[in-house]
Amino acid sequence: MRLSLITVMLLCVIGANAQSDFIKPVNKTDYQIYLRQPAKEIKLLMYEKSFTPIQGILSEDRKSIIMKNYDVGSKVHVKVLYDDGSEEEFTKSPCYIDPVIS
């Protein structure tokens, strides 16, 4: 009796874990950094700690940088060239990096 009860409990736990793996959707969300003014070009976009480059593009209005495959919770180092010819280099902490809502 005990053995069958333990077996049933183990099957329930294994089944629940297997189901939860199938339920989790894989969401690839783009993230964005807002800029002070419209930019002409992204000169540099990388993670601050590892110096790994990040794939990013300017938004249609050129007032934000859209990042692909951003590691959530990481600081980002940015250098941009604005339309007026000025350049700005800055670091954005994760609390200023927002998901793109489509």
> Residue 2 and residue 6: Cα distance in Å, rounded?
6
- The pLDDT, as a whole number, for residue 29 is 86
Which residues, 6 or more positions from 21, have their beta carbon under 8 angstroms from its beta carbon? none
Q: Which two tokens stand for residue 91?
A: 């670091």
In this predicted model, what pLDDT tens digit does every residue of 4-60 receive, in sequence order? Answer: 656 656 665 665 554 444 444 445 789 999 999 999 999 999 999 999 999 999 999
Q: Is the pLDDT of residue 67 over 90?
A: yes
- The pLDDT, as a whole number, for residue 26 is 47
- The pLDDT, as a whole number, for residue 24 is 44
pTM over 0.85: no
- The pLDDT, as a whole number, for residue 102 is 72
- Summarize the confidence of residues 64-87 as an average pLDDT: 96
> Residue 77 and residue 48: Cα distance in Å, rounded?
5
Q: Which DSSP symbol is given to 43? A: E
Check residues 24 and 84 and name the one with the higher pLDDT.
84
Where are the chain's structural domains?
A: 31-99
Q: Is the pLDDT of residue 77 over 80?
A: yes
